[in-house]
Chains A and B, each alone.
Chain A
């Protein structure tokens, strides 16, 4: 009986240690999401200041991220207000954007992250190459593009490019 209790206790401790060890909290400080939008005669950069999420390893790696769209910023204050409005993110009606991975696997170069991105109430499966390291610190670096019209962001498609370049950098400690 004592053996059973002890082994259950040890197993419980091991499970707790494993789950605690494999959770990384994401926030606006350790996770940078920046975008570059291009138009015919130039481009603009920006990003999101407030976000939260987790990276977990429960047999497989999983990333869950919620972005507060109202925290958007750009290199032009007028543009920031325009981006918050209904022409682009409509942050009053769609205050969050979400990304949840469905699979992280080895790709040709580094890893390939697959997941569902939800913006403006529309969900779309996306995938992108990423450099990932794990240990005490989880790091992820990725540069890829998404088509904004996939999410119903159809403003001025003839003037502003549909493709938006994204740069993601994560450096989260356990």
Chain B
């Protein structure tokens, strides 16, 4: 009997120890980042050059002004680095950089044999800051990073690969943490080549200065149906913020759609805004399109002035979709699945709409 009690007590204690260990192990999952000093490339080709670039004499990588832009094929230039990743996993790239203007705010980054992608393209100029780059899955081992000329007149000091999305760059300094930003202010009419036009007419242009204080905007024109999208299969739990301005249309069927959790042109969620032909109202719907099936998750009416810029925010929490328009909480609908995917903009009927300053920010998980 005594032995039985001892064994039961020992089993319980063992279970508790195992549980505690596993809990402790989970909660102390090491978060780390691998830092690359850009002043020490393995090889370098001009116009990429290492020089003193920091305000306090720090060395880094620079491309001087007016030497030619890589994205237009005017000049080459690259710098190669090697770095070691201690553990398999998904890594979040950050870059400590100095951009000059909207035509000088990005660099191409290629990791191993992956397709090269853009780092930067954020709207912070003439200030050293940390900018959030793309995410990449890496295996344990040595990898190569090649930074090459996208825009001239740029300088960078560090690239870090953070093992956790919540683990940003250390130290003080300005941080631009959007996982995606497009203000369409890049040179050559916004250079929005990374967007994919599925249908309709989409272009970047400065809107009428009388009606808008912003600079360039993405303009969509539609006769029946238009769609432009920015794909990313890894985005989840994010907040999509953008400015939208609708132009009055005499068609009752004209509507605009802001797509999120977009996997392809047939699979996405959408905030559809159908402005009333007369009056200052609009009908809004949250739709889920799954192949050819469209489900209406929610619908409501709200005040909507045409020819005015409205700030739209869509937050994808773990189990809900929240919509805010002009800083006013309008809707929160629960969902029992995770919404994952890129974004898109669509137009229905005969209409013209302006879009600008599109931000995607990761929603950090809070302890329940």
A and B: partners? no
Which residues in B have some Cβ–Cβ distance to A below 8 Å?
A: none
